[in-house]
């Protein structure tokens, strides 16, 4: 199955935005009244979603470079 670089770009952008928003939401809702163990779990979970956002952003950048012709098969 082949997908176009254009579709890959937009899918990666949506993936990065959703994962980044969920990770930032997890960090922003961290309550000061929780135990140290729960705080560590919440921060780890949020950082995992932010890592996924970084992976999505990287894939969007690569797809964009393919669309611009900077990466891929050369005509030579």
Please state the domain extents for the chain. 5-68
User: Coil, strand, or helix at residue 27?
Assistant: helix
Structure pTM? Answer: 0.85
Q: What is the pLDDT of residues 18-41, one digit of tens each?
A: 999 999 999 998 887 888 899 999
Check: CB of residue 27 under 8 Å from CB of residue 44: no
Average pLDDT over residues 10-18: 97
Question: DSSP 3-state helix, strand, coil percentages of the chain (rounded to 5)?
Answer: 75, 0, 25
Separation in Å, CA 2 to CA 7, 46, 47, 60, 67: 10, 32, 32, 17, 15
């Amino acid at each position: 199955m082949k997908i176009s670089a254009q579709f890959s770009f937009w899918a990666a952008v949506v993936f990065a935005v959703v994962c980044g928003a969920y990770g930032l939401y997890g960090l922003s809702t961290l309550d000061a009244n929780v135990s140290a163990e729960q705080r560590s779990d919440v921060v780890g979970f949020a950082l995992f979603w932010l890592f996924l956002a970084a992976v999505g952003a990287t894939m969007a950048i690569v797809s964009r470079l393919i669309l611009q012709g900077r990466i891929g098969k050369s005509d030579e």
